[in-house]
Amino acid sequence: MKLKCIALAVSLLAAGASFAATDADVDNSFQPYKKGFPTVAGLSAGTTINKSNVEQFKDAFDPGLYEMVKDGWVDINVAASTDFPQPKAYIEATRKNLGKVKLGANNGDLEGYAAGRPFPEEPDLKDPRAGEKLAWNFKYGANYGDSGAIYPFYWRYRNAATGQIERTIKFEFHFLNLMHRVEQAPIPEITPNPSKIYRGTYAKVYEPAELKNTQLLIQRFDDDQKLDDAYLYLGFQRRVRRLATGQTTDAFLGSDMMIEDFEGYNGRVSDMKWAYKGVKNILVPFFNHNEQMHLTDEYKESDGYKFVDFHGRGNCMPNVTYQLRKAYVLEATPVNPNHPMSKKVMYLDSQTMYPGRVVIYDRKGALWKNFTIGKSHPDHHLPGNKGSNVSLDDSFSQVDMQAMHCTTGQFKTHIDAKLNPPGLFQVQNMRGGD
């Protein structure tokens, strides 16, 4: 009982600590490299790391990617670290709401949040709820800004052992924040919104024919205790099916991705127990898209856009440059004991609050999947994205290390509010389609 009281007191103290965040914390949070980028001895732009020299740079790797390089899955080409500034309005909203946000009594409760980064202060290992705060920073992050779209979005299922491409799916993805909006009108919320949906994610399949016109809609509520609503429109049935909760931890359309894996973690804060494990400077695939040397024009685009190419074993890894960046190590353990994984470790980029790397462990605790998200600076991407300050998802790779199988994703991301009208995120939109 005594221990419990102490824990509660520490917890409240930690929660209260958020009130102490300052403008300086905001500056540090969004400009972590003001004083320079991290370094690792011997590592510089132009370095190629492979199994022969990975031990030398082991500290610059998360365990998952380290294992891959050590085993010869992939060589890592290092480029200079760069700044990925976040949307100004998002930063301003953070500043404006500074000190107004605090954690509630239970995991998944948040009080006083309006917009911006909820907890800009540097996480503290002594804070038992620091992990939760980072999870909230991630949930209310500026990925895709207030809205964004990916089209086309190619997923490939690959046999990692043979390199065989088993399936190519051509998607369209859209994201829309209905609440806590900072940049795109209306601000701060698209109303009326009686269910208080925070975010909508809509996806549609164009190819292959077997899956054509399959559509997915996920509605995430601002109340984190409330289960997402998810709907699937099956082209061959022409009917919207309500998805049961279990399907968010299912292999999505047979890929190596669960719906819950989208964007690194696509679930409720309350679905996981969060633990902050400290800071680590690691190599992540953050880059300038247009400056990459290994883009592919395999998919023809009328504007000449080329997609990130893949290489390495089974062509499972993005053929892009990596840079050394400061990451917060955030461990997520499922609350549901029947969850297919035992935990995932997210390496949250300190500036963008999005993970360039996620390592997933199976129920027995063994390394299961290596998830890599490539991020491009928006000023070195499509002309329309320039100046958005949204760090753009540009590639992903989910490698099932046990099944020797991977799913890769090649993005053409657009930050354009016109592409994401609210009606797209209503169930009826799927019913009225083809």
Partner 1 sequence: MYKQVTKREWRLKALAIALAAIGSGAAHADNLPALGDGDDPWRVDVIYENGTHYRGKDKTGHEVGLSKFRNTIQVELDKKLANDWGFHGVLRGTFDGVYRLNDDEFGKKAGSKSGADLQFQNTISKSGGMVTTVPWGGGLGANGGPWNQATAAFGYPGGNDLLNAIYAGNVIAGSPLPLPLPGAANTGFVNGNTYSAESGVGLRMLGDRWHGPDGGIQMAVPVRPCDTDRRGCRDFGGYGDKNLSELEAPEFNDRLDFIREAYVKKTFNLTDETNLFLKLGKQQVVWGRTDLFRVLDVINPVDYSRNNIYDELQDIRIPMWIAQTEFRFGSSELMQDRNLSIVWNFDKFRANNLGQCGTPNVMLDAGCFFRGMANLWDNGGTVANFAHLSDGAASLAELGMGIPNGSLPRDMWLATNFGPGQIGIRKVHLPEWSLANSQLGVKFEGVTQGGLNFSLNALTYRSQLPSLHAFNNAQNPFVASQTGGSSHLIAFDMYFPRVNLIGGSMDFQSETLGAAFRLEGALTKGEEFVNTARPKLYSSNKVWRSVIGVDRPTFIPFISESRTTLISAQLFYQHIFDHEEYRGPLGKYGMPDWQDNFIGTLLIKAFLMNDRVSPQLVTAYDFKAHAWVASPQVEWSLSDSLKLTFGANVKGKRDDAEDRWAFNDCRDCNPYAPYTQYDGQTGAGPLGLSGLEPLGRFRAGPIGSAWKENEIYFYLRYKF
List residues near partner 1 by CB under 8 A.
Answer: 157, 166-168, 191-195, 197, 206-210, 212, 227, 229, 236-247, 250-251, 253-256, 338, 340, 363, 400, 405, 422-423, 426-428, 431-432, 434
The residue (of 290 and 342) whose beta carbon lies closer to partner 1 is: 342
Both tokens of residue 289? 């898209």
Closest separation in Å from C-beta 357 to partner 1:
20
Closest separation in Å from C-beta 76 to partner 1:
27
H or E stretch at 206: strand 197-207
Closest separation in Å from C-beta 18 to partner 1:
29
Q: Between helices 23-30 and 88-96, what is the axis angle to 10°?
A: 150
The residue (of 41 and 244) whose beta carbon lies closer to partner 1 is: 244
Closest separation in Å from C-beta 236 to partner 1:
6
The residue (of 42 and 208) whose beta carbon lies closer to partner 1 is: 208
* Sequential DSSP letters for 225-257: TSPPEEEEEETTTTEEEEPPGGGGGSBGGGSS-
26 Ramachandran zone, left/alpha/beta (phi>0; psi -120 to 50): alpha
The residue (of 129 and 414) whose beta carbon lies closer to partner 1 is: 414
Q: Would you report the helix, strand and coil content of the chain in percent, each value rounded to 5?
A: 25, 35, 40
The residue (of 339 and 375) whose beta carbon lies closer to partner 1 is: 339
Which residues, at least 6 apart from 79, have a Cβ–Cβ distance to it below 8 Å? 45, 46, 287, 321, 322, 323
Three-state secondary-structure class, residue 312: coil
Q: Are 278 and 125 in contact (CB under 8 A)?
A: yes
Closest separation in Å from C-beta 380 to partner 1:
27
Bridge-based pairing state of the strands 102-103 and 272-284: unpaired
H or E stretch at 3: helix 2-17
The residue (of 95 and 156) whose beta carbon lies closer to partner 1 is: 156
In DSSP terms, which residues pair with 204 in a beta bridge?
Answer: 172, 215
The residue (of 62 and 400) whose beta carbon lies closer to partner 1 is: 400
Q: Are 16 and 127 in contact (CB under 8 A)?
A: no
Closest separation in Å from C-beta 33 to partner 1:
38
Q: Are 394 and 413 in contact (CB under 8 A)?
A: yes
Closest separation in Å from C-beta 134 to partner 1:
25
Closest separation in Å from C-beta 163 to partner 1:
15
Q: Position 386: which residue type? A: K
Which residues, at least 6 apart from 427, have a Cβ–Cβ distance to it below 8 Å? 217, 231, 240
Closest separation in Å from C-beta 10 to partner 1:
31
The residue (of 172 and 379) whose beta carbon lies closer to partner 1 is: 172
The residue (of 82 and 159) whose beta carbon lies closer to partner 1 is: 159
Q: Are 342 and 365 in contact (CB under 8 A)?
A: yes
Q: Are 219 and 193 in contact (CB under 8 A)?
A: no
Closest separation in Å from C-beta 389 to partner 1:
28
The residue (of 165 and 279) whose beta carbon lies closer to partner 1 is: 165
**Structure letter (DSSP) for residue 258:** B
